[in-house]
Amino acid sequence: MNAPLSFGSDALPTLAALLRQPAVSRVLVLTDSNTARLCYPLLQPHLPDDHKLIEIPAGEEHKTLSTCENVWNCLTEYRTDRFGVLVNLGGGVVTDLGGLCAALYKRGIRCMQVPTTLLAQVDASVGGKTGVDFQNFKNQLGVFQEPAGVFIDPVFLQTLDPRQLKSGYAEIVKHWLIADAAAFEEQRRQGMFVEDWTPIIRESVATKQRIVEADPLESGLRKILNFGHTVGHALESFLLGQPGREVLHGEAIAAGIVCESWLAVQKGLLSPEELDKIETFIFSVYEKIHFVTFETDAIAELALQDKKNVGATINCTLLQGIGHAVYDQPVTLAELAESLRYYHRL
């Protein structure tokens, strides 16, 4: 079952009311160094006076078990019992990592997600996935654990720079491509910089919730949410930890969308005209990620660690026309490498 979700100006007051319940023994707030400065002041008036703040360094490179250990040390130091609540205030790194920390501490305490980036509001905080990176592989360790609630207030988007907004927008585009052809057709003519994000966020969250409700543990249909992520995660993982070459998650997913759309054309699932529409739209928003041709095989090989794989078979989600996705489509390393070379030539 999807976690309870509160949206808009009522979200933070609703959170405040839940945190005042007698069943809550202690409130702890997890932030990173950016959200502590920019977002915590917006949340603080809604928190109990005796709450505790836990701050971790910002950045994907800190989404590790070592950071989890620091969080667990703080929870232990503050004598948090099983009736404590961890409020995760941040983007995808904070909501993913905080969710995992809560799920494992004392075999599970409640967490509440307050996503502050567009990416987290439409994707990372919704659906009950938690995780951290391991050996530079994205979300290699994690569990399914629904939060006690998700509280989405678009006011936090005012703290973001345009690059972070674009990163989150990639997941919205993905939702259109896998499940809403009409929305993609409408929005590709409008562009991403809209005055009011609220309707787009609501619709995107509703799309993901419908899919998650049908398949909570990703045994079937939920796999379509991984469109763009087989190549995207491989590219993101390859560049992770290379100073000056790191990319944001959504930037890598945008590249993955192009590569995997090209693969769908090669397999007769998507028309060249549809690929052209997708490419034109993606490159109207995102700059191309730069890598050199001889790196394509090494990038593709990272897909062998993809969580959708079965044995040595790389399973990919591909489009069967815009607005409809099919999962468990086998692809070879050679095909993945060729899709990257196609992207490189564009």
Does residue 309 or residue 91 have the better pLDDT? 91
Please, what is the end-to-end C-alpha distance for the chain in angstroms? 42
Mean pLDDT across the stretch 94-120? 97
pLDDT band, residue 309 (cuts 50/70/90): confident
Between 138 and 32, where is the model more confident? 32
Yes or no: say if 232 and 255 are a contact pair by the CB < 8 Å rule.
yes
Question: Sign of torsion, CA 7 9 12 16?
Answer: negative
pLDDT digits (tens, 9 = 90+) for 143-165: 999 999 999 999 999 999 999 99
> What's the confidence (pLDDT) of residue 324?
98
Q: What pLDDT is attached to residue 290? A: 94
- Is the pLDDT reported for residue 112 higher than 80? yes
The CATH number, out of the four listed (3.40.50.12780, 3.40.50.1970, 2.70.50.60, 3.40.50.720), of the domain defined by the range 5-159:
3.40.50.1970
Mean pLDDT of 318-323: 98
What is the chain's mean pLDDT, rounded? 94
CA 55/CA 70 separation, integer angstroms: 10
Out of 2-11, 16-25, 186-195, 266-275, least confident range: 186-195
Length of the chain: 346
- Angstrom distance (rounded) from CA 214 to CA 222: 8
Complete edge-to-edge strand list for the sheet that includes strand 110-115 = 5-7, 149-152, 110-115, 84-90, 26-32, 52-56
Give the C-alpha separation, 176 to 331, whole Å.
Answer: 23
Question: pTM of this prediction?
Answer: 0.91
Q: Exposed/middle/buried for 343, CB within 10 Å: 0-12, 13-18, 19+?
A: buried
Is the predicted pLDDT of residue 306 greater than 60, yes or no? Answer: yes
Domain ranges within the chain, ordered by starting residue: 5-159, 162-345
List CB contacts of 341: < 8 A, sequence separation 6 or more.
Answer: 293, 296
**Superfamily holding 162-345:** Dehydroquinate synthase-like - alpha domain (1.20.1090.10)
The amino acid present at 83, given as its one-letter code, is: F
Average pLDDT over residues 277-284: 96
Q: How high is the pLDDT of residue 294? A: 92
How many other C-beta atoms are found inside a 10 Å radius of the C-beta of residue 319? Answer: 27
Based on C-alpha coordinates, what's the Rg of the chain? Answer: 20
For the cut 90, the answer to whether the pLDDT of residue 52 exceeds it is yes
- Give the model confidence (pLDDT) of 84-93 as tens digits: 999 999 999 9
Q: How confident is the model at residue 1 (pLDDT cuts 50, 70, 90)?
A: low
Strand-pair partners of 27: 85
